[in-house]
Amino acid sequence: MAKIKNLIFDMGNVLMRYDPEVPLKKFVKTEKARNLIRRELFEGPEWVEADRGMISEEEMYESVARRIPEKYHEELKKCVYEWIICMKPLEKSVKLCEDARKWGYQTYVLSNAAQSFYEYFPKFYRMEDFDGVVVSSDVHLIKPDVRIYAYLLEKYHLNPEECLFLDDREDNVEAARKAGMQSMLFTEDYETLRAFLKQNAGIEAYQQKKTIRKTVAKTLRTLLLPLFVAAAVLTSACTIAPEPRTTQAQESGQVVVGTDATQSSSASLDSVPAYSGQPYVTLNNNVPDFTDADMQTTSYEEYSDLDNLGRCGAANAIVGIDLMPTEPRGAIGQVRPSGWHTVKYEGIDGNYLYNRCHLIGYQLSGENANEKNLITGTRYLNVTGMLPFEDEVADYVKQNNAHVRYRVTPIYEGDNLVASGVQMEAKSVEDDGAGICYNVYVYNIQPGITIDYATGDSQKSADMQTALSSDTDSRQSQEKTYVLNTNTMKYHTPDCSSVSDMKINNRKDYIGTAAELQQQGYEPCGRCHPE
């Protein structure tokens, strides 16, 4: 077994106490109402979707409110928007993290959490103290999906055998094992855990190595500092593009639009290649078109006025922590960007073709219903195309308490109401692009859908129609009725003997497939063996 070098912590009931009974008791008057809101909100599908980053708190409230009597809506609203009062740090875990870092471990957080994570977690833990953080709503994956573990390992270049994952749920622990990590069920037995970590670290040996490293580092600084200064003088261009994006582009053979294509801050559609299966192409060798005067350390945001067709123009910002939101995202549904249509298609994540896409994302700016910052964009543009680049910037700013010069420019053809795509440019300020540096064109398309960019009208392409029909028939043939136990996370056939023993508050009926339930973290009952 490999030596453990990296500790990966779950958040809820590992780093912080999570207890939904706190807001229920504080905001809900009767036991009947508490049982109802507990089941429909905290144990409902919307909570999972918020953790997955697919819906906002407002959308969660609206969806749950449709299932419960109106007389409980105010109590429900309090629980939705003020539930974080139930979060408080586990003091012994705080001390454990501090000591673990002293013992030589790298520490990471891997949590199922909505975007409000960034509101409450920094109140109790310094984000910069952790070597990395992955939140489910940022990557649209939730534990125990093995892919979220793989994402963390890839993002931070970790050897899974050198990682110890700690979680209070057995299904999450088991998924970590499947991802190749060592894992342990967290039971708040701090004494045993501390003893294990100290033994694994070899404290005395570590202290000796630490002294040696300090001596070597001091010597190297003396010898190499003049060389570093000389190199800094000679280096002025962006040297590192965001990972994994550049690597992916190189490996996939994506077309790179050269310098001639982007002499101005806006991409030329004439020089952007047709969409070929990748969500973006790089422009100007991935170097943004910023001047030295643009690279400032004072945060700001600036938006263009709408043109005579009601279309957004370029949005500019210097993103810093002080620009980021400190409260939950508000409603944006009242804004109708140019070319907006409310239309659904099966086969699209979330079903809706169009999103109200922020040019400068909410996580970077805290902007809500700003019509100068919202365009009609496909789900593919919003989540697959733009979001990973936004995440690069957000992660860098939070982890380094630094600034990033940022610009997003929607690109229209002629008088079209819907943008053909957006140009995204970013460059980290304090390190002159060493941390963040990119210039990309992201396609506003949706695979399988034909879009009329002049009006926003759309229709299924013929190949998608055929595929959807086949998928629908296949899915319907697999759908069955199951009974879920939301406490044990088991699913049963309706006639299973375990169903009669199930507490009513833990029971939930479900029509769908076993594969869908397993993706949500449920396991089959050992008695009835549901297929």
Tell me how far apart the alpha carbons of residues 53 and 134 are, in angstroms, rounded to a whole number: 13
DSSP string, 212-263: HHHHHHHHHHHHHHHHHHHHHHH--S---PPTTHHHHHHHHT--EE-GGG-S
Tell me how far apart the alpha carbons of residues 390 and 407 are, in angstroms, rounded to a whole number: 11
Could you give the dihedral angle defined by the CA atoms of residues 379, 305, 336 and 424, in that order, rounded to the nearest 10 degrees?
Answer: 0
Please report how many Cα atoms fall inside a 13 Å half-sphere around the Cα of residue 513, on the Cβ side: 10
Q: Name the DSSP letter for residue 128.
A: G
Amino acid at 424: M
Tell me how far apart the alpha carbons of residues 531 and 522 are, in angstroms, rounded to a whole number: 13
Q: Name the DSSP letter for residue 447.
A: T
DSSP string, 50-98: HHTTSS-HHHHHHHHHTTS-GGGHHHHHHHHHHGGGG-EE-HHHHHHHH
Tell me how far apart the alpha carbons of residues 408 and 6 are, in angstroms, rounded to a whole number: 36
Tell me how far apart the alpha carbons of residues 509 and 216 are, in angstroms, rounded to a whole number: 64
Tell me how far apart the alpha carbons of residues 280 and 442 are, in angstroms, rounded to a whole number: 4
Question: How many C-beta atoms surround the C-beta of residue 235 within 10 A?
Answer: 12
Tell me how far apart the alpha carbons of residues 207 and 329 are, in angstroms, rounded to a whole number: 46
Annotated catalytic residue, options 157, 341, 358, 403: 358
Instruction: Count Cβ atoms within 10 A of the Cβ of residue 97 and give its class: 0-12 exposed, 13-18 middle, 19 or more buried.
Output: buried
Angle (CA) 505-511-512 rounded to 5° is 125
Amino acid at 153: L
Backbone angles phi, psi at 257, to 5 degrees: -80, 125
Tell me, yes or no, if 358 is annotated catalytic.
Answer: yes
Active-site residue list: 358
